[in-house]
Structure 1
Amino acid sequence: MAMLDRIAGNRELKQHLKTALACGRLAHSILLVGEPGCGAGFAARCLAADYLYPAGGPHAEAVLRGQDPESITVQGEGASGQIRVERIREAREAILRSAMSCDAAGRALFVYGAQNLNGPSANAMLKTIEEPPDGVLFLLTASSAAAVLPTIRSRCAAYTVAPVETGECAAFLRTVRPELTEPQAADLAFLYEGHIGNCLRAVSDPDAKAARAAARELCRQARQQDTYRAEALLAGYEKDKEGAAALLWQTTQAASAALRRPGFDGLDPDTAARVLRAANRAAAAMRANGNLRLALAVCGMEMTQTDQ
């Protein structure tokens, strides 16, 4: 079975890529576009595995885990997530210096978050794509095609990785995480709207699990209109901007789910709408580099107090 078959949903995407591989018509530069959590990175690794090791086997599995020596990865750094020009140059040098394994059909260079290429790093990437070393497949991912610089986008064959229908998403989750009950898998698929990556992080990543638990508690305080406890919870994030952003994002997911299915996480539609507005305002203030402590304090009040 091709590694591409492991991608949930996205039947047309898988068939197109499999046909291009089989016919030797796969472009040497691929841009996979998908919202965060859709699995664009996983899809890139599946495609690389089939390109490098058509017969499959342990090496192909290593590509999926990000542990194959024929694969080089570049991604953003720091709070901005920008990809520095040095990382692109280092990746090119690593490709040129490395000796290709006799088991591999080529090499793969992953650039996760290509929307974070800045001017210098984009120019270095462009030069690398235009003068590609033999046998190298460039695999770029991005949250939006429009966010990728046109000079890069125009050199790539672009494909969209879409969220998965919730029923199919739930079935996939139970396959890869058999400890999940059917209702648990269904709730995760509904909460994250078929974004499989987000679903898996919610059950496997400690930070995501903690943010989800805190969001549920915050929603409970909003429902009970307990301003003191909501403010106390949020105060714990006054010096943790990254943690606060994760908490607010999980809270907006829960509130959105409750608007689509009243009662989800115990939220009625009116409370869910109030929570969603407050969380979005606080997140916007954070993105604008507003005072984090003030943004969280206002958020707690807005979540727990009605307009009456």
Structure 2
Amino acid sequence: MSEGRPGLLEGAVAPSENTHLFGHEQAERFLAQSYRSGKGHHAILIEGPEGIGKATLAFRFANHVLSNPDPSAAPDMLASPDPSSMVSRQIASGASHNLLHLARPVDEKSGRLKSAITVDEVRRAGKFFSQTSGTGNWRIVVIDPADDLNRNAANAILKILEEPPKRAMFLVLSHAPGKLLPTIRSRCLPLKLAPLDTDALAKAMRSLGLDISGEGGEAVLAAAKGSVSEALKLVNYGGADIIAAYDEVMAQEGPAARKAMHKLADALSAKDSDTIFGFFVSYLGDSLVERARAAAVSGDLRGADRLARISSEIGERLTIAQAYNLDRKQTILTILGELKQ
């Protein structure tokens, strides 16, 4: 579970331990059959929105490969990992000698995840391959996600992808593949995952012990847009309350609006509010994009341009605020004020 794991949401299961995957049967079948054919690509770019199961699919496939080292004898469909098997236990504990998980490292001083995957992390891949070069086993690197690679780390990964070791496999995850180096994308086989439909998302939430039913549940499923992580933020982090508070800000005027703005800013700048703040920033960006698209469709090109410009300016303001560690509450109040105008 999430307790004690930086970056893992409350109520979530680490992808390396998760035995449940919903809504991606076609992708599972493709990976299994591609591997069984013996002609599978050495690097697969698993792309799609955050929180839909990309990492769970990657570890599920890695378990399949390591449990079936001979492709020709492997099943033609991925099975749910057996938690009691040695391969599963080693993957879940991070002790597998044949699998390396590259992700943002934890800052030892703060106990929080660093902002990027650095070149030092990628050097672990070089060491990993050199130490396992004579074993004859498959060696799998999961990059989770590649969006977090800084420039030097991305170039270092590219060099390995250009001349991959024998029986090496890269599972490259990306929420926004358009931001990756084109040269990295060109060396990977793309596998696009779609957001979960309502039924699959409800099943995924039930597997986590959360019964999303009734009117409130339907609202969560709709707002989550097919993402388990978004649903967890709505349920376990007060995301639904944040959306309601934002709607109140936009609906009020005068002193009532200012009071609502301060209430929302206090909630988003409280201690340990990074997760819900990130949720709000994402929600706000999506909301502005949707409004701009609706304006354009209706023929209001001036309005669409204005909304697009506001979205860009807010993004720049948030980037600057984060880079210079500016007061979060004041930044939020400024943004809300601009939106009200």
Instruction: Tell me if TM exceeds 0.5.
Output: yes
Distance in 1, matches of 2:26 and 2:18, equals 11
| SS in structure 1 at match of 2:333 | helix
| SS in structure 2 at match of 1:47 | helix
| SS in structure 2 at match of 1:159 | strand
The 5 Å alignment of 1:38-53 reads: 38-53=52-67
* Alignment-derived partner of residue 296 in structure 1: 332
- Between the two proteins, the alignment pairs up a number of residues equal to 279
Q: Which of the numbers 230, 238, 245 marks the counterpart of 2:261?
A: 230
| SS in structure 1 at match of 2:278 | helix
TM-score (normalised: structure 2) = 0.65
Distance in 2, matches of 1:242 and 1:154, equals 34
Contact 1:281–1:299, Cα closer than 8 Å, also in 2: no
| SS in structure 1 at match of 2:39 | coil
* Alignment-derived partner of residue 128 in structure 2: 94
The 5 Å alignment of 1:47-86 reads: 47-54=61-68, 56-58=81-83, 59-62=86-89, 65=92, 67-69=94-96, 70-76=98-104, 81-86=115-120
Contact 1:38–1:198, Cα closer than 8 Å, also in 2: no
Contact 1:191–1:254, Cα closer than 8 Å, also in 2: no
* Equivalent position amino acid for 1:159 in 2: L
Distance in 2, matches of 1:187 and 1:51, equals 39
Distance in 2, matches of 1:186 and 1:68, equals 40
* Alignment-derived partner of residue 4 in structure 2: none
Distance in 2, matches of 1:66 and 1:196, equals 23
* Equivalent position amino acid for 1:57 in 2: D
* Alignment-derived partner of residue 149 in structure 1: 181
Q: Does 2:150 correspond to 1:123?
A: no
Alignment gaps of 5+ in structure 1: 260-276
Q: Which has the higher helix share?
A: 1
* Alignment-derived partner of residue 27 in structure 1: 41
Q: Sequence identity, in percent?
A: 19
Offset from partner CA, 1:50-90 (integer Å, 9 cap, x none): 11123843345447746352321212468984332121112
* Equivalent position amino acid for 1:72 in 2: L
How many angstroms does 1:127 deviate by? 2.2
| SS in structure 2 at match of 1:73 | strand
Offset from partner CA, 1:141-172 (integer Å, 9 cap, x none): 11222221122111111111110112332233
The 5 Å alignment of 1:1-308 reads: 6-54=20-68, 56-58=81-83, 59-62=86-89, 65=92, 67-69=94-96, 70-76=98-104, 81-98=115-132, 105-174=137-206, 176-183=207-214, 185-200=217-232, 202-203=234-235, 209-210=237-238, 212-220=240-248, 226=256, 227-235=258-266, 237=268, 242=274, 245-246=277-278, 248-249=280-281, 252=284, 282=314, 285-289=317-321, 292-301=328-337
Cα distance 1:245–1:5, how it changes in 2: closer, same or farther (>3 A)?
closer
Distance in 1, matches of 2:198 and 2:274, equals 28
Offset from partner CA, 1:241-271 (integer Å, 9 cap, x none): 9467325237549979xx9xxxxxxxxxxxx
Contact 1:85–1:124, Cα closer than 8 Å, also in 2: yes
How many angstroms does 1:138 deviate by? 0.9
Alignment gaps of 5+ in structure 2: 1-16, 69-78, 108-112, 292-308
Cα distance 1:149–1:33, how it changes in 2: closer, same or farther (>3 A)?
same
Cα RMSD for the two superposed structures: 4.1
How many angstroms does 1:279 deviate by? 9.0
TM-score (normalised: structure 1) = 0.71
Distance in 2, matches of 1:295 and 1:157, equals 41
Distance in 1, matches of 2:178 and 2:312, equals 23
| SS in structure 1 at match of 2:143 | strand
Contact 2:116–2:148, Cα closer than 8 Å, also in 1: yes
Distance in 2, matches of 1:170 and 1:214, equals 22
Cα distance 1:38–1:5, how it changes in 2: closer, same or farther (>3 A)?
same
Cα distance 1:171–1:235, how it changes in 2: closer, same or farther (>3 A)?
closer
